[in-house]
Amino acid sequence: MSKNLIEGALLVIVVLFALLGNFRAALITAAVIPLAMLFTVSGMVRGGVSGNLMSLGALDFGLIVDGAVIIIENCLRRFGEMQQRLGRVMTAPERHALTAQATAEVIRPSLFGLGIITAVYLPIFALTGIEGKMFHPMAITVVLALSGAMLLALTFVPAAIALMLGGRVEEHENRLMRAARRAYAPLLAGSLRRGGWMIAAAAVLVVACGWLATRLGAEFIPNLDEGDIALHAMRIPGTSLEQAVTMQATLERHITRFPEVERVFGKLGTAEVATDPMPPSVTDTFVMLKPRAQWPDPRKPRERLVAEIEAAVQRLPGNNYEFTQPIQMRMNELISGVRADVAIKVYGDDLDTLLEIGRRIERAAQAVPGAADVKTEQASGLPMLTITPDRASLIRYGLNPGDVQHTVATAVGGEVAGQLFEGDRRFDIVVRLPERLRQDPAALADLPIPLGGGDGGDESSRSGGFAVGAPHTVPLREVARIETRDGPNQINRENGKRRVVVTANVRGRDLGRFVADLQQAVAAQVTVPTGYWIDYGGTFEQLISAGQRLAVVVPVTLLIIFSLLFMAFGSLRDAAIVFSGVPLALTGGVVALALRGIPLSISAGVGFIALSGVAVLNGLVMIAFINRLRAQGQALDAAVFDGALGRLRPVLMTALVASLGFVPMAVNVGAGSEVQRPLATVVIGGIVSSTLLTLLVLPALYRMLHRRDAVAPLPA
């Protein structure tokens, strides 16, 4: 994480030195980064926010210096013009006055731009539940950083310019900017002449990308590569502890044969403090992998290693498996109560009916592309010794069912015969059959059931350790049916109803489209009787919950952005022109996700939220500059052309520093990169399209909406 931040800061500084063309000005802008970070870290300490992947995941130094870049670039331009007009170096009072004047020209759009970027993070604070706990630290950190940047733009940056940019100010365009200006001028003129076509093309692009967004798929957050594997081994219900330990040892020996595996250990049974109760037939197996540098093939995908391990352990009899990751397994269990990605829950009253519905759902789910480890929970299959009284025999011997039940309960469960005292502690003394006889159905069949009355007699027979007197007792097999049958392994209840769960992991597909196909398959192939119903659980529930909340909050935030733009310009037309940058910026983010094969997620959604604020910043500055030129007496076309051309450098600088700050996150493949990659991809792609809008479409749109004003010929 810290490596990404350092790399992003270095890229931003390189762009500043390359495009500003003034070492001291670039140094002032770069100094904003550590000062803003000091402000941010101080706020995080006071607010109890730790520095981690989520809290620092959306921090971009390019956004932090955007306001300073706009101010410094305008000051450099005004300093150069003043020096040419005076033919000498400015005095300190002249420099201070011009700094204040140049800063005042752009401070309003700069502060409004940073304020809008800060405002767009407000919807994140509206998230609740797990998604809220995950993304609130990120929003707090970004708001702190941008607040610090706004304070520095008001105080430190103008003061540093006035003090450090004394003497002759070297303000010139380097070769890169001169080449960019030569390429941009004819494109801008063509865009203004064919403004209708440019705006229509932009509208078509927005509609096409809106359709493309529906084809990207969706997931809650990308799965992190934790570097280890969690293997859920499930065996036949009723498996003894000794047999489970033997089978687990065999499983671990097979897994440790892989050269990528460092060690394997398992957790079997229920601990004394039963926070995670499990029967002996279920084992959590943790496969700890070596660092990738020690693998025979460091470039081997994790999915391929999991497939190889799965193929090897499937040859072991008596086991079923679910493959996941340690943290992912616990997250799924906390969210939906199961350890897999998706849970299909069946509710009802009769356990056999629930199991039959669950088996049909399992067959339907196995046919859905992307389904893996599809299993119905082990709710049955536990061997149980059943003793059923024979009513006809009981009547013949003059017995009732209670006599049989009491004798069996005493022999198997035990009966208190006294108490043992140790100091002030006392323990019950329970008398029951030895374990060898309790577990032997043949021996239990000879259990004597007293008939009541009689003098005892001398004749007796011994069988299985019991003495059966003919007149006074009768063997259990004569009055009851003894058999072993499968009984319930566990009975789970939820919301007052019995519940059976079918679980599935998702591989090679996004969670959103998988669940949609799964629901369609289950609805088509499974008929649910009256009184039973199906519910779906998993991380996609958080995606739906967050999406529903954002669907309400985001429009409100966009309304706030539009209101701020109206406050900045005092014109609905100009506010609408700048606000049009939001949809075209979002199209770039959608295209970038599609090109990289990344589905929509909450991380990508945070990127879109950040992008909507960045998109209006450059448009805000350009429209403010065009309005100032028109206020100075220039005709509409000349003001639009000169204003757009004059704002080329700050537009390119703010776009480059904002996008390059996210490049290390977009290309990073280290731990935690899965969460950062969608956010960075959206911002980079969106800034590209937003810059094109600002440079080409926005001037044409401005000219079209203001064409009722006097129109002069376009400059040659």
Lowest mean pLDDT among 264-273, 300-309, 625-634: 264-273
In this structure, how many other beta carbons lie within 10 angstroms of the beta carbon of residue 482?
Answer: 16
289 CB contacts (<8 Å, ≥6 apart)? 227, 228, 229, 260, 261, 262, 305
54, pLDDT greater than 80? no
Overall average pLDDT of the 619-641 stretch: 83
How far is the C-alpha of 42 from the C-alpha of 141, rounded, in Å?
A: 10
Task: Give pLDDT, residue 467.
Answer: 47
Question: pLDDT band at residue 668, thresholds of 50, 70 and 90?
Answer: low
Question: Are residues 644 and 622 in contact, defined by beta-carbon separation less than 8 angstroms?
Answer: yes
Q: How far is CA 332 from CA 176, 325, 432, in A?
A: 51, 10, 44
Give the span between the Cα atoms of 288 and 199, in whole angstroms.
56
Question: Of 597, 558, 602, 599, which Cα lies nearest the Cα of 581?
Answer: 558
User: How far apart are the C-alpha atoms of 30 and 568, rounded to whole Å?
Assistant: 27
Number of H helices, E strands in the chain: 28, 17
Rounded Cα gap, residues 49 and 664, in angstroms:
23
Per-residue pLDDT tens digits for 98-157: 888 888 877 777 777 777 777 777 777 877 777 777 778 888 888 888 888 888 888 888
223-339 maps to which CATH number?
Answer: 3.30.70.1430
Among 171, 176, 146, 174, CA closest to 161: 171
Pairing of strands 473-475, 492-494: unpaired
Q: Is the pLDDT of residue 389 over 80?
A: yes
Q: Locate tokens 């356990």: which residue?
A: 351
- The per-residue pLDDT for range 324-377, each reduced to its tens digit, is 888 777 777 777 677 777 888 889 888 888 888 888 898 888 888 888 878 888
The pLDDT value given to residue 462:
41
pLDDT tens digits, 203-242: 888 888 888 888 887 777 777 777 788 888 888 777 778 8
Helix axes 698-705, 195-213, angle to 10 degrees: 120
Question: In the predicted model, is pLDDT for residue 305 greater than 60?
Answer: yes
Average pLDDT of the segment spanning 482-492: 77
487 in helix, strand or coil? strand
CB 543 within 8 A of CB 370: no
- The secondary structure of 234-252 as a DSSP string is E--TT--HHHHHHHHHHHH
Name the token pair of 131: 């998604």
Superfamily of domain covering 2-221+542-705: Multidrug efflux transporter AcrB transmembrane domain (1.20.1640.10)
Token digits for 430? 């329970």
Burial 142-181 (b: 16+ CB within 10 A, else e): bbbbbbbbbebbbebbbebbbeebeeebebeeeeebeebe
Per-residue pLDDT at 6: 63
pLDDT digits (tens, 9 = 90+) for 513-529: 888 888 888 888 888 88
At 21, the pLDDT band (50, 70, 90 cuts) reads low
624 strand-pairing partners: none
pLDDT tops 70 at residue 563? yes
Closest CA relative to residue 657, chosen from 73, 85, 55: 73
Is 3.30.2090.10 the CATH classification of the domain at 383-488?
yes
Is 465's pLDDT higher than 50? Answer: no
Terminal C-alpha separation, the chain? 50
Question: Nearest Cα to 454, choosing from 471, 430, 434, 442?
Answer: 471
What the block records as the tokens of 44 is: 């995080």
Can you give the C-alpha Rg of the chain in angstroms? 37
Q: How far is CA 187 from each of CA 190, 221, 652, rounded to the nearest angstrom?
A: 5, 41, 15
**50 class by beta-carbon count within 10 Å (0-12 exposed, 13-18 middle, 19+ buried):** exposed
Q: Say whether pLDDT at 607 is over 50.
A: yes
pLDDT digit string (tens) for 489-499? 777 788 788 88
Q: Is the pLDDT of residue 459 over 60?
A: no
Write down the domain spans for the chain: 2-221+542-705, 223-339, 383-488
| Nearest residue to 448 (alpha-carbon basis) of 462, 430, 434 | 462
Give the per-residue SS3 of 145-172: HHHHHHHHHHCHHHHHHHHHCCCCCCCC
Report the interhelical angle of 92-119 vs 602-631 (nearest 10°): 140
For 595-633, give one letter per residue: b (16+ CB within 10 A) or e: eeebbbbbbbbbbbbbbbbbbbbbbbbbbbbbbebbeee
Instruction: Give the SS3 label for residue 37.
Output: helix
pTM: 0.71
| Rounded Cα distance, 490 and 537, in Å | 20
Confidence label for 58 from pLDDT (cuts 50, 70 and 90): low
